[in-house]
Structure formats: structure tokens, C-alpha cells
């Protein structure tokens, strides 16, 4: 998946992201990153966002994209999601994948439901994986396109991350330290 990677890692603070109301009024989204594509259809190569789901209702249709959906709170209550007429009980840490043009709606929404959404061009590999526990590792754009802290304590090159802050790794390595943490990531390899 072609991407313009910066030389060094960049932290995206969730407090700097502007919440935007969903078109149907059923929630809010904060776009973490949108990777441009050279394709003439104007669809991004990929897009990562945090969604606050306030009430039951339909998801927006995104033809030409595939979606990876993960509840963003390790202790969150299960979410009932209906995809093309089939009920799925989504609970952390299980993610669910569906076509962007599928008919998707929430049936029962527990209070405070927040989800991480990865959307990639249809036919392009994508996934949301988890790092959990205590670890130290070097991250680059060769290992992950993006990472989001879901819970716990994390530092990038000594700088502390807050819950739901994201990292866009660069071409040069950055030291990531996790303590009692859960971090979602979109692998590049």
C-alpha cells in the first residue's frame, strides 16, 4: 500500500481531533488519519478514526472500501451489530470486518460505546491487531501504518501518550514502551 511516510514518528493527540457529527446524528467521529491515494476515484488508500456511538441506527455506506471495526475500550460492554441482516455480538478484543457498502446498523448500544474504525480500499490487505501487556519495541513505517493507545501506559521515545492518542511511525525507528497497556495497530507488513 503506497504511503508517504515521514522520516520520524508523529504523535496525533486525541485532544487535537475535532469531533464531527455523523450524518444520521447517531454518533460522532474523530478522524485520526486519512492516507491519500493516487487513484482517480478520490477514495483514500486508508482511513483510521475513533467513533462514539450514541444510539442505535445505520452506518454510512462506503462503497469501494472495506471496514475493520474494533471496540476501543477493553472493559466495554458488547455491541450488537447487524451486517447485511446477520446479528453479530461484538466484544473486545474481537474485531469484525465487512464491506463498506454492506448494510450495517447497531441494534443495542451500551452507554459510552467507542470504536476504532479502519477503512481500506476494497481488495487491499488490512487488519487491526493488538499489542498487550508490558513490552518495549522499535516501531517504523515498515512494521505499522498507525497505532492507537486503548488503555494503560505508553511512551514514544520518552514522550507519554494519553488514552486514544495515535502514532504514525516514520521511516526511522522510534522506541515504544508499553506498561499494562493495550494498543491497536494497523500492520504494514
Q: Which of 49, 45, 38 is nearest to 1 (CA)?
A: 45
pLDDT exceeds 90 at position 140: yes
Q: Which residues pair with 47 in a beta bridge?
A: 34, 119
The model's pLDDT over 6-41, given as tens digits with 9 standing for 90+, comes to 789 999 999 999 999 987 778 899 999 999 988 888
DSSP 89: E
Whether the Cβ atoms of residue 71 and residue 53 lie closer than 8 Å to each other = no
The three three-digit cell numbers of residue 170, written as one number: 516514520
Q: Is residue 1 over pLDDT 70?
A: no
pLDDT digits (tens, 9 = 90+) for 77-108: 999 999 999 999 999 999 999 999 999 999 88
- Reduced to 3 states, what is the DSSP secondary structure of residue 15? helix
Looking at residue 7, what is its pLDDT?
87
Name the residue with higher pLDDT: 60 or 3: 60
Strand partners, 120: 46, 66
User: Which domains are delineated in the chain?
Assistant: 18-121 (2.60.120.10), 129-187 (no CATH)
pLDDT of residue 2: 46
C-alpha cell read off for 10: 508523529
pLDDT attached to residue 105 = 94
Tell me the average pLDDT across 41-63: 91
Amino acid at each position: 500500500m503506497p504511503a508517504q511516510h515521514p522520516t520520524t514518528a508523529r504523535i496525533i493527540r486525541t485532544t487535537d481531533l475535532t469531533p464531527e457529527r455523523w450524518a444520521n446524528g447517531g454518533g460522532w467521529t474523530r478522524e485520526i488519519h486519512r492516507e491519500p491515494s493516487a487513484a482517480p476515484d478520490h477514495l483514500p488508500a486508508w482511513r483510521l478514526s475513533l467513533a462514539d456511538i450514541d444510539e442505535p441506527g445505520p452506518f454510512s455506506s462506503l462503497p469501494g472500501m472495506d471496514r475493520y471495526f474494533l471496540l476501543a475500550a477493553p472493559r466495554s460492554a458488547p455491541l450488537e451489530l447487524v451486517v447485511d441482516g446477520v446479528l453479530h455480538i461484538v466484544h473486545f478484543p474481537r474485531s469484525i470486518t465487512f464491506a463498506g457498502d454492506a448494510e450495517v446498523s447497531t441494534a443495542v448500544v451500551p452507554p459510552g460505546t467507542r470504536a476504532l474504525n479502519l477503512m481500506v480500499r476494497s481488495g487491499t490487505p488490512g487488519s487491526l491487531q493488538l499489542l498487550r501487556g508490558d513490552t518495549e519495541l522499535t516501531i517504523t513505517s515498515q512494521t505499522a501504518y498507525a497505532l492507537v493507545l486503548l488503555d494503560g501506559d505508553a511512551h514514544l521515545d520518552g514522550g507519554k501518550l494519553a488514552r486514544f492518542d495515535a502514532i504514525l511511525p516514520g521511516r526511522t525507528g522510534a522506541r515504544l514502551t508499553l506498561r499494562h497497556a493495550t494498543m491497536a495497530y494497523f500492520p504494514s507488513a
